[in-house]
Amino acid sequence: MRETDQETLDPEDWQDLRAQGHVMLDDMFDYLEHLRERPVWQPIPQPVRDAFHEALPRGPTDLAAVHRTFMKDILPYAVGNAHPGFMGWVHGGGTPVGMLAEMLAAGLNANLGGRDQIPIAVERQVVEWVRDLFGFPDSAGGLFVTGTSMANLIGVLVARTAALGQAVRRGGLAACDGRLAAYASSGAHGCIAKAMDIAGIGADLLRLVPMNDRYEMDVAALEAAIRADRRAGFRPFFIAATAGSVDVGAIDDLAAIGRLARAQGLWFHVDGAYGALAMLAPEIAPRLEGIGEADSIAFDFHKWGQVPYDAGFVLARDGRRLEDTFAAETAYLKRESRGMAAGSPWPCDLGPDLSRGFRALKTWFTIKVYGAGRLGRSIARTCELARYLGRRIEALPELELLAPVSLNIVCFRYRCPGLDAAGADRVNAEIVIALQESGIAAPSTTTVAGHLAIRAAIVNHRTRSGDIDALLAATLAFGKTRVSL
């Protein structure tokens, strides 16, 4: 058999690659070091969009040339969540340490579906850390997934199997008695309804329980909804409480909901996508009281944990419940007690994915290098900045706070005297677009109490009070030109 160097994808000259690799690394360090000097986001010029419709490249292109294209056409036009002025949606900022760890993981190219390898021990180390952080027993199990959307889906599926028995995995829901019903607050994230849909239970079978004036699930209404469903012949099986709601950052009364779930025999799941990691901040952790009683918790390291995307996580109080739901025997995944096929159960037995990347490594590096204390302080700091923003809004006659500042999310609007509700909503939507296009600050919008709100979610560890001041100054300036029109 004839072999040429053309058949491997490794370089002919490692020295050249090494030099180019250092250039690429330095460019990213420069980007992170000088992030503040850039706009948060900028509109994408048409020629740049057009550049991404070329034909499949049949021949090679020099790595340095492709990297130059990255620097010119990709790097400047990301959404900007690494930037301290980014306050839209709930996005983490990432860290240089996470970036470096991601490079190491890619170099190793580990597949964490299973087999006997230390990368899985690293993932299990993270499981132990979060198990202890949430006060779960040693029997807890968990794994990395893409994000909380997937982690919530796993929560629904595990609760379904716990309620109906493993027979549901073969026979399907149609073979089971009674229709399942689940509960979350009307402020819950949309991915929970989507999880009910994907699981085949049906999005309408997620009952959206009203909220109190602090935007927390009304526990009395929850209990009433469960009773009404039972009377109507449904099988209530799952409650998803929210710890850090996406609209306003509210935390449901986890302790009360946990007690009710226990008394009613329902699975108690917590969607703590970003809020759960507040356990790292001693001054905020008490607000999550009751989270340790959950049957499962879904959360993201890529939001408040600042781990680069993506790094979602699902933790189950009893790890065997994950196996009951996902383990499946196949000849090509046969287990042994020695050799590479040892180490069962494997991560692929605990969730839907077989091939899985080494998300654990960037998380392990982040926690080791910064330490839980420093990560917790950066979380507490974002809440302090949110309170500062809230106080400044209350002191400015042009602005109105639309919801109490519970954690790190601030919903407000520019007052538009003389305009009707639709007009005021339009002005506020325009202010947000103007802010985003200015590159000064990037909040997003939501609807709170029937009003379109300017929503600033302070998640980024780089954000400082000066960034808050810049957001306010620009909001006032853009509001003034629009309202006086």
Ligand X SMILES: *Cc1c(COP(=O)(O)O)cnc(C)c1O
485, with CB counted inside 10 A (0-12, 13-18, 19+), is exposed
Nearer to ligand X, 89 or 388 (CB): 89
Tell which residue, 433, 429, 404, has the closest CA to residue 416.
429
Site for ligand X contains 148 (CB under 6 A): yes
CB of 391 to ligand X, least distance (A): 24
Site for ligand X contains 436 (CB under 6 A): no
Site for ligand X contains 274 (CB under 6 A): yes
CB-CB contact of 449 with 482 (8 Å):
no
Nearer to ligand X, 438 or 446 (CB): 446
Nearer to ligand X, 269 or 392 (CB): 269
Strand order across the 451-457 sheet: 86-87, 442-448, 451-457, 409-414, 399-401
Instruction: Tell me the β-bridge partners of 269.
Output: 240, 296
Residue 169, Cβ neighbours under 10 Å: how many? Answer: 16
CB of 224 to ligand X, least distance (A): 24
Q: Which of 123, 229, 300, 467 binds ligand X (CB under 6 A)?
A: 300
Nearer to ligand X, 195 or 440 (CB): 195
Task: Give the per-residue contact string, 64-103, with ligand X (x = CB under 6 A; - = no).
Answer: --------------------------x-------------
CB of 367 to ligand X, least distance (A): 18
Residues that contact ligand X, how many (by CB under 6 A): 15
Tell which residue, 89, 66, 64, has the closest CA to residue 79.
89
CA distances from 482 to 199, 432, 445, 472 (A): 46, 12, 17, 15
CB of 22 to ligand X, least distance (A): 33
Site for ligand X contains 191 (CB under 6 A): yes
CB-CB contact of 403 with 479 (8 Å):
no
Site for ligand X contains 189 (CB under 6 A): yes
Q: Which of residues 31-60 bind ligand X (CB under 6 A)?
A: none
Nearer to ligand X, 145 or 361 (CB): 145
Site for ligand X contains 130 (CB under 6 A): no
CB of 280 to ligand X, least distance (A): 17
Q: Which stretch binds ligand X (CB under 6 A): 47-55, 65-73, 141-149, 391-399?
A: 141-149
Site for ligand X contains 147 (CB under 6 A): yes
CB of 190 to ligand X, least distance (A): 8
Nearer to ligand X, 273 or 399 (CB): 273
Question: What angle do the packed helices 465-483 and 421-438 form, to 10 degrees?
Answer: 130
Task: Give the per-residue contact string, 321-360, with ligand X (x = CB under 6 A; - = no).
Answer: ----------------------------------------
Q: Which of 81, 149, 428, 445 binds ligand X (CB under 6 A)?
A: 149
CA 251, CA 248: separation in Å to the nearest integer?
Answer: 9
Task: Give the per-residue contact string, 223-262, with ligand X (x = CB under 6 A; - = no).
Answer: -------------------x-xxx----------------
Tokens 């250039």 appear where?
23
CB of 267 to ligand X, least distance (A): 17
Q: Which of 271, 293, 295, 467 binds ligand X (CB under 6 A)?
A: 271
CA 434, CA 474: separation in Å to the nearest integer?
Answer: 9
CA 326, CA 127: separation in Å to the nearest integer?
Answer: 18
Give the strand pairing for 180-185 and 206-209.
Answer: parallel
Question: Which residue's Cβ has the minimum distance to ligand X?
Answer: 147
Nearer to ligand X, 81 or 95 (CB): 81
| Two tokens, residue 343 | 């180490």
Tokens 């103007």 appear where?
434
CB of 145 to ligand X, least distance (A): 9
CB of 105 to ligand X, least distance (A): 19
Q: Which of 305, 312, 343, 351 binds ligand X (CB under 6 A)?
A: 312
**Buried b / exposed e along 305-341 (16+ C-beta atoms within 10 A):** bbbbbbbbbbbbbbbebbbbbbbeeeeebeeeeeeee
Q: If phi over 0 gives left and psi between -120 and 50 gives alpha, with beta otherwise, what is residue 400?
A: beta
CA 62, CA 68: separation in Å to the nearest integer?
Answer: 10
- With a CB cutoff of 8 Å and minimum separation 6, the contacts of 271 are 148, 152, 184, 188, 189, 192, 240, 241, 242, 243, 298
Question: What is the Cα 225 distance to its own chain's centre?
Answer: 29
Question: What angle do the packed helices 319-326 and 148-164 form, to 10 degrees?
Answer: 80
Nearer to ligand X, 92 or 319 (CB): 92
CB of 131 to ligand X, least distance (A): 20
CB of 212 to ligand X, least distance (A): 18
Enumerate binding residues for ligand X (CB under 6 A): 90, 147-149, 189, 191, 242, 244-246, 271, 273-274, 300, 312
